[in-house]
Structure 1
Amino acid sequence: MIKEACVESFLEARLAQDKGANRIELCSDLANDGLTPDFEILKKACSELDIPVMVMARPRAGNFVHSAEEIEAMKAAIDQAKEAGAAGVVFGLLTPNNKIDEANTRLLAEYAKPLPVTFHKAIDEMDDPEEGVRILKTIPNIKRILSSGGKATALEGQEVIRNMIAEAEGKIIILVAGKVTIDNVSEIQQITGTTELHGRKIVGDLTTKK
């Protein structure tokens, strides 16, 4: 089981590593579901941690319908991830009617190479996340999809998550999120059958004194 801890500072990242996280997702502004992190924090995390660091590329809070200018900002975030030595990037793009923005997703997934891509919880805005899996598994370099099955929690979304894993056919990893904590991570792993899980408290409380 891979436990990915979602953090927004270097101190949180180091504490997550010390508590047993296998991987980090580094963001800023988690109150708004995560934005592109500060470059200096990213460089420090990538150089000083012993576990892989995935980097959020998201230029603003709100919806996941991105303009041409915002796509360029996401490219810049990907450039920074490469420069810092990150293990991969995380982004998600939808159309105005909450379908996968296939054209721009393909463009950015190609641009991100050789860094692998996680398509984030934007997929949970879709009416049918399984449809999202069907599309994303055809896009080269999309290696993971972060999802709580379209629900607020992984426990609520467990049936959809299982269906998403089946739809993925082993071609893409469903990285399960949604109030996954140190107390329920084993249960959620067992009921969904996933191999990778993600959470703010997946290895416990990461509260640090600022």
Structure 2
Amino acid sequence: MKFLKEACVENVEQAILAEKKGADRIELCADLISGGISPSYQTVRKAKEKLSIPVRVMIRPRKGNFVYSEAEFETMKEYIRFCKKEKVDGVVFGILNLDNTLDIERIKELTAIAFPLDIVIHKAIDETPDIIKSLYQLIELDTITTVLTSGGKLSAKEGRYTLKEMIAISKNKIEILPAGSITDQNILELHQLLNATSYHGRKIVGNLQENNLL
């Protein structure tokens, strides 16, 4: 029952603890209470310095929706260039049109800048009108590494039927990364339902609120 555990963290202390507790990969964010935004440049540098497991970085200029202004889009491009320079392992982003469909043209632009980093499309896909159609659009790009999703629901368990369909569609093409209330307490149960290759969560290796680790 081998699968990869990606811990979602908002500072370097949590990232270090997650690695100690058995996380295989880190998604580095800030302000998780608002759904996660880009961490500071300093946080990214320090995480790369301190960790030996892969680090993927959230590219999200603000909380709220995923429809971005031109200025916000430019900020995302600049942040991805920084991440490439710092040699992080991947970047995590999502952009929607006003009708909540995927903004494929802007996704392509960011992907071109990020290459050859891992490219993760985050839970913005859960807000699209047709999540399966959106997945096929991403597969067609042939540049997306991972889709982080709850199957369009609040939790992975609620979205399990859609997640299973997405995993079947994406086999050997894109990593489907189930997320949404996945913890060290329920991951084995969910794995029996989904049989995914990897899972994502804030408590996927347990509580990460311990301090003074640096």
TM-score, normalised relative to structure 2: 0.95
Q: Distance in 2 between matches of 1:88 and 1:140?
A: 16
- Unaligned 5+ residue runs, structure 2? none
Task: Indicate the residue corresponding to 2:128 in structure 1.
Answer: 126
Aligned equivalents of 1:204, 1:128: Cα separation in 2: 33
Q: Determine which of 144, 147, 154 is the counterpart of 1:145.
A: 147
Instruction: Give distance in 2, aligned partners of 1:36 and 1:51.
Output: 19
- For 1:188, the equivalent position in structure 2 comes to 190
Alignment partners' CA distance in 1, 2:105 and 2:45? 30
CA contact (8 A) 1:153 1:179 kept: yes
More displaced stretch, 5-14 vs 184-193: 184-193
In structure 1, the residue corresponding to 2:145 is in which secondary structure?
A: strand
Shift of 1:126: 1.5
Structure 1 gaps, min length 5: none
Identity among equivalent positions (%) equals 45
The answer to whether the Cα contact below 8 Å between 1:181 and 1:202 also exists between their aligned partners in 2 is: yes
Amino acid of the residue matched to residue 148 of structure 2? Answer: L
Query: How far off is 1:66 after superposition?
Result: 1.2
SS at match of 1:122: helix
Out of 135, 138, 143, the residue aligned to residue 136 of structure 1 is 138
The 3-state SS of whatever aligns with 2:140 is: coil
Per-residue deviation, residues 85-132 of structure 1 (Å, max 9, x unmatched): 210100001111111111001111111011110000001112221111
Find the residue that maps to 2:192 and give its secondary structure. helix
- Give 1:102-181 correspondences, 5 Å limit: 102-181=104-183
Which residue matches 1:23? 25
**For this pair of structures, how many residues does the alignment match?**
210
The worse-fitting range, judged by mean Cα deviation, of 73-82 and 23-32 is 73-82
The amino acid that maps onto 1:99 is T
Q: CA RMSD in A?
A: 1.1
What's the offset of the Cα at 1:68?
1.6
CA distance in 1 between partners of 2:166 and 2:188 (Å): 19
CA contact (8 A) 1:109 1:140 kept: no
**Aligned counterpart, 1:87:** 89
Report the CA distance between 1:18 and its aligned residue: 0.1
| Alpha-carbon distance, 1:201 to partner | 0.1
Distance in 2 separating the partners of 1:4 and 1:57: 17
* Matches of 1:165 and 1:190, distance apart in 2: 14
Distance (Å, rounded) in 2 between the aligned partners of 1:26 and 1:106: 22
